[in-house]
Structure 1
């Protein structure tokens, strides 16, 4: 049977007295039918049987949703772990970039005869330049050259 079907079939006996007479005549009739996958219902218990089936289908849908949520949660968790790995790698790259930046600034500004002081001296000696070294960087380079 399909996804939304039960393992049982309802056999509706529309005449309540006929249903009662059949059950009195053969008390094992209900068990026999049930073992064959048939549930005998009458007008008296039809609505409760249908409500029960509706509730079972609702629970089955909830169970499928719970399984889907569990699958999606697992996939989301895996994506999250991958994201944190990438974020950690990014942090290491940022730190390396920052360290490289600091090293480049140090080469530019540190020690006697640093690059900034040398290019500034070339400008003082007559190098024709259209641009100026930013004041903050220039000060840093010239201070280090004097030490």
Structure 2
């Protein structure tokens, strides 16, 4: 805008100069007698041109100043906007750096967790430490649920040791921690469906062996156990694979376990099973108490019947005695009457005269 105004001003000045030159040449060619008048006219025209030029220059200068002021305002607003955006960019950059720092820390924690998991996997790879860890988790759960009614590593007379027993109602609930990790890991790493089915069958066969061992070694009613035991599986995913029945199997693992009085439980279900056992024992106690009350009532009924018989006999005896008493009284009265009639009564006057 300012460049176009300046170019217009230059063109206007050039046009005025050209007009003055043309006018001067025209005056020079006129006759000499008219020179004073022509000079005066020329001066007037020059003055007029100068005034118009001055006005034009002033107008263009004002326009140019206005345009410059507008451009300065626009430039200032643009500068402020750019500054604000730079500030926002700086803030966003700081926030981004902070988030990147957090992500870096989280990634470091994930790497550390991964190393810890690998270490835990190495620890669990051997059967003995794995069993100890399962017993540890089982002990923590029993400590929270039945703190005073359980014992770890309970030994039977046969020398067999079960991981834990829970004392309920004067009897023992054997709890054994079985953790078929190797077969389960192979099942998870199966490449296709056929391999998965094969490995699943192997996994379930391993679990069935555990069930048979528990039923044979730990269900010992002669030593104070209930006629069932709990098979504790210390991982929910392993528990799920244990109790879910494949479509092509004739007998589910859960039915197999129940048939041998072994109940598979997990960290999330063992409490519910123990509660059900406690409630069942309470129901048995109530039923036993009710039976005892009925037995007492039967004995009381028998005693009352015998007492009624004795009262009946006593009543009969009393009735017979009363009848005999009345008969004896009547007989005595008759004898008294007969005796009175048969013995004469002496006259007192005659007795006095004789004396």
Band the TM-score falls in, shorter-chain normalisation: 0.5 to 0.7
Find the aligned partners of 1:43 and 1:114 in 2 and give their Cα distance: 106
Q: Secondary structure at the match of 1:14?
A: coil
Q: Structure 2, unaligned stretches of length 5 or more?
A: 1-220, 247-251, 346-355
Q: Does 1:12 align with 2:236?
A: no
Q: Aligned pair count?
A: 116
Consecutive unaligned residues in structure 1, runs of 5 or more: 122-147
1:86-126: CA deviation from partner (whole Å, max 9, x where unpaired): 111111111111122222332333462458x99xx8xxxxx
* Residues 1:39 and 2:263 aligned together: yes
C-alpha distance in structure 2 between counterparts of 1:39 and 1:114, whole Å? 99
Alignment partners' CA distance in 1, 2:322 and 2:339: 20
Distance in structure 1 (CA, Å) of the matches to 2:325 and 2:308: 25
Q: Which has the higher contact order (CA 8 A, sep 6+)?
A: 1
| C-alpha distance in structure 1 between counterparts of 2:262 and 2:315, whole Å | 66
Call closer, same or farther: CA 1:114–1:87 in 2, change over 3 Å: farther
Shifted more, 7-16 versus 44-53: the winner is 7-16
Maintained 8 Å contact 1:9/1:38: yes
- When residues 41 and 108 of structure 1 are mapped into structure 2, their CA distance, relative to the original with a 3 A threshold, is same
Q: RMSD over aligned Cα, in angstroms?
A: 3.1
Q: Counterpart in 2 of 1:55?
A: 279
- Asked whether 1:112 is paired with 2:332, we answer no
- Deviation of 1:23 (Å): 4.4
Structure with more helix by fraction: 2
How many angstroms apart in 1 are the aligned matches of 2:323 and 2:260?
78
Distance 2:233 2:332 in 1: 98
Distance 1:23 1:95, change over 3 A: closer
